[in-house]
């Protein structure tokens, strides 16, 4: 009989389902790490939420463990790498909170537009201030949805029922898929300029950090309203307050904050035009029940028939049984991450080419890894090797896999071509020795790039002094160059430069580099 330990509070349906299948279940929330480590050796599965921190020390005591299940989306509290090395499956419950998060966005939108919290407080103070709390209708307003993953699309669907016009920005969603949801795709600047209300549904990344800032708010309509139920840090909270003070933003509704729990002395928590909730997007009875039932069924499916759903480290487990493919999996994922930080237009199609017998025998895993790297950078959903192809299909991205025998320079070569209506981006990479991962071609340029850490990409006219000019700007910003690769097509024509640097390059430095005469297509990438 399989034994399962549940160490965090969870909906009782999880326990009853597992017991109905005949498993021995110990429900003991509030256990200390020491208590878990003492008892965990005899258990085959561990179910946690966010309280239990499953670290390397605890995993080392798991002599019988097969599955660690997280009843929720994130797995930040689980050491996935160590679990993988011990051959333990880590799974989560993707999508369980989609409807709850979308509905909370709608609740905040309505509350913000009709001043519900402020009017409620006024009534409680025995005041009757009808004129003061006059609101605005949703009907006829333009809603700008930034991030059109599952939650963003659900918000769009519900907002249409209120008679709103929906515009959206997402570099992945195809125009055909967007039209099915009644969404008109726009570039970011057009969305800022057109929207009456802007709602955020993107992950926090180097590209989305402070996406809502004074610079971008200047592009918005006077009196725009802002909603964030996605991630803290997407909004520069101080600059949002300034915009509220000056009337550029007429109202804001926030469920997430850059620091949680926050410092309540900050101005944003006392501003009369801001309504706040304490990260309640997934906090509904239904969402908690869904993830509890989902994790119970997923664990049973694995124990019963070895079917794996919601597994976040399947690729790692496969690679461990076939270690020579592991560095290629990392290469594939990093190519996806790099392009995700360069993408400018809606992605239509990805062509993946596998040259070499070893890559061809693992083509499915490698293509899933490319998509995982791409989508995990651009979507709020938790993306893993199992669901990446499904998510790409939902976004309307076509993926083609082709075995190629045309390569003669490398024993194994992974090539990925990203296509939009306006551009083509091509990467090819291989592995030298055991694990020296390299990108050996970008577009038509042949070079040798180590895809890790912080990278600077730019094209320039191939002439003396260009590298020195860029180097001087980096030097002035105290950014050290750790590596350099150059590629050119013809002397004196356009060349491609890729630098490995020791620190993140901020927007001001990137802007200075872009202003160098002859330098174009400047991108900062973090892996």
User: Which amino acids are annotated catalytic?
Assistant: 231, 260, 279
CA distance 217 to 245: 13
Cβ atoms of residues 48 and 78 within 8 Å: yes
Which class for 485: exposed (0-12), middle (13-18), buried (19 or more C-beta within 10 A)?
A: buried
- What's the first-to-final CA gap in the chain, in angstroms? 43
Tokens of 402: 């082709």
H-run or E-run covering 511: helix 507-514
191: Cβ contacts below 8 Å, ≥ 6 apart: 144, 146, 167, 168, 169, 198
User: What Rg do the C-alpha atoms of the chain give, in angstroms?
Assistant: 25
Question: Which residues pair with residue 460 across a beta bridge?
Answer: 495, 519
Q: Of the candidates 95, 146, 92, which has an alpha carbon nearest to the alpha carbon of residue 381?
A: 95
Q: Which SS3 state, helix, strand or coil, does residue 60 take?
A: coil
Least Cα distance to 411 among 399, 429, 394 occurs for 429
The C-alpha atoms of residue 256 and residue 52 are separated, in whole angstroms, by 22
Q: Is 90 helix (H, G, I), strand (E, B) or coil?
A: strand
266 SS3 class: coil
Determine the Cα–Cα distance for residues 22 and 40; give it in Å rounded to an integer: 19
Residue 231's alpha-carbon distances to 156, 251, 341, 381, 495, in angstroms, are 19, 18, 18, 12, 38
Look at strands 481-488 and 424-432 and give their pairing: unpaired
Helix ranges, 306-444 (H): 314-321, 326-340, 357-361, 363-378, 388-394
Please enumerate in sequence order all residues whose Cβ is within 8 A of that of 278, keeping only pairs 6 or more positions apart, or say none: 255, 261
The token pair that represents 85 in the structure block = 């090395």
DSSP assignments along 188-217, one per residue: HHHHHHH-SEEEE-----TTTTT-BSHHHH
- Give the number of other Cβ atoms within 10 Å of residue 428's Cβ: 22
Q: Where are the beta strands (DSSP E) in 229-357?
A: 249-254, 274-276, 347-355
């Amino acid at each position: 009989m399989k034994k399962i330990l549940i160490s965090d509070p969870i909906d009782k349906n999880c326990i009853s389902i597992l017991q109905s299948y005949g498993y021995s279940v110990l429900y003991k929330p509030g256990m200390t790490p020491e208590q878990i480590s003492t008892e965990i050796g005899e258990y085959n599965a561990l179910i946690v939420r966010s309280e239990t921190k499953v670290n390397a020390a605890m995993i080392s005591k798991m002599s019988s463990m097969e599955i660690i299940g997280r009843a929720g989306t994130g797995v930040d509290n689980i050491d996935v790498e160590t679990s993988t090395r011990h051959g333990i499956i880590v799974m989560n419950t993707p999508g369980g909170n989609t409807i709850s998060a979308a509905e909370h966005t709608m609740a905040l939108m309505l509350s913000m537009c009709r001043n519900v919290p402020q009017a409620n407080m006024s009534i409680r103070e025995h005041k009757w201030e009808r004129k003061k709390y006059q609101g605005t209708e949703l009907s006829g307003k333009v809603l700008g949805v930034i991030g059109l993953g599952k939650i963003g699309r659900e918000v769009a669907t519900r907002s249409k029922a209120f008679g709103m016009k929906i515009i959206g920005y997402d570099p992945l969603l195809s125009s055909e898929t967007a039209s099915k949801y009644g969404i008109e795709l726009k570039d970011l600047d057009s969305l800022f300029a057109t929207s009456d209300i802007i709602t955020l549904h993107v992950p926090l990344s180097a590209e989305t950090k402070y996406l809502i800032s004074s610079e971008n708010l200047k592009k918005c309509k006077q009196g725009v309203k802002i909603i964030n139920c996605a991630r803290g840090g997407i909004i520069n909270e101080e600059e949002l307050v300034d915009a509220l003070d000056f009337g550029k933003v007429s109202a804001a509704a926030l469920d997430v904050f850059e620091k949680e729990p926050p410092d309540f002395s900050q101005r944003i928590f006392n501003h009369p035009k801001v309504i706040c909730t304490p990260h309640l997007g997934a906090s509904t009875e239904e969402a908690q029940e869904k993830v509890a039932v989902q994790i119970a069924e997923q664990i049973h499916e694995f124990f019963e028939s070895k079917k794996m759903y919601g597994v976040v480290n399947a690729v790692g487990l496969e690679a461990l049984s076939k270690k020579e493919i592991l560095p290629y999996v990392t290469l594939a994922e990093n190519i996806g991450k790099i392009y995700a930080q360069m993408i400018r237009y809606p992605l239509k199609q990805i062509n993946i080419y596998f040259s070499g017998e070893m890559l061809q025998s693992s083509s499915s895993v490698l293509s899933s890894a490319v998509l995982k790297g791409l989508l995990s950078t651009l979507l709020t959903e938790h993306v893993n090797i199992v669901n990446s192809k499904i998510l790409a299909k939902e976004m309307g991205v076509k993926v083609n896999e082709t075995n190629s025998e045309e390569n003669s320079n490398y024993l194994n070569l992974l090539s990925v071509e990203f296509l939009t209506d306006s551009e083509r981006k091509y990467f090819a990479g291989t592995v030298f020795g055991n694990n020296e991962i390299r990108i050996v071609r970008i577009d038509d340029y042949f070079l040798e790039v180590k895809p890790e850490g912080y990278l600077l990409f730019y094209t320039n006219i191939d002439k003396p002094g260009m590298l020195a000019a860029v180097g001087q700007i980096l030097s002035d910003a105290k950014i050290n160059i750790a590596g350099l690769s150059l590629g050119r097509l013809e002397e004196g024509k356009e060349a491609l430069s890729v630098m490995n640097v020791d620190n993140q390059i901020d927007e001001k430095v990137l802007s200075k580099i872009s202003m160098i005469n002859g330098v174009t297509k400047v991108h900062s990438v973090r892996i």
